[in-house]
Amino acid sequence: MTQPDPTAEVDARRKEQLKEYGTWVATGDITVGNALAFTAGHPVPAGHVERFGWDKENPPLVAKAGTKAANEAAGVVAPAKTESGK
């Protein structure tokens, strides 16, 4: 009997996790009921965003990872431009 390739299974699982946790970032603290669920700048599972519509709130409770809003929530500061503009 041939055994399945565990490396392929691990890689597939990593891709699933990256997609789930690498898509959205909390723009502020998010509570579910009375409990703090996610703090500003931390990843938010895509399933939660879909289920609760946090991307459709006004203002949105989440931002796409890598966007200006997500970077600001995470405290990522863009490098300052020099006098030469670079």
Give residue-wise pLDDT tens across range 38-82: 999 999 999 999 999 999 999 999 999 999 999 999 888 777 666
In a domain, 77, yes or no: no
> 86: pLDDT confidence band, cut at 50, 70 and 90?
low
Q: For 3-25, what is the mean pLDDT?
A: 90
What is the model's pTM? 0.76
Domain limits at 46?
A: 19-72
In a domain, 40, yes or no: yes
In a domain, 26, yes or no: yes
74 phi/psi in degrees, rounded to 5: -85, -5
In a domain, 5, yes or no: no
Count of domains forming the chain: 1
Q: For 10-17, what is the mean pLDDT?
A: 93
In a domain, 1, yes or no: no
Q: To the nearest 10°, the Cα dihedral for 4, 6, 7, 12?
A: 90
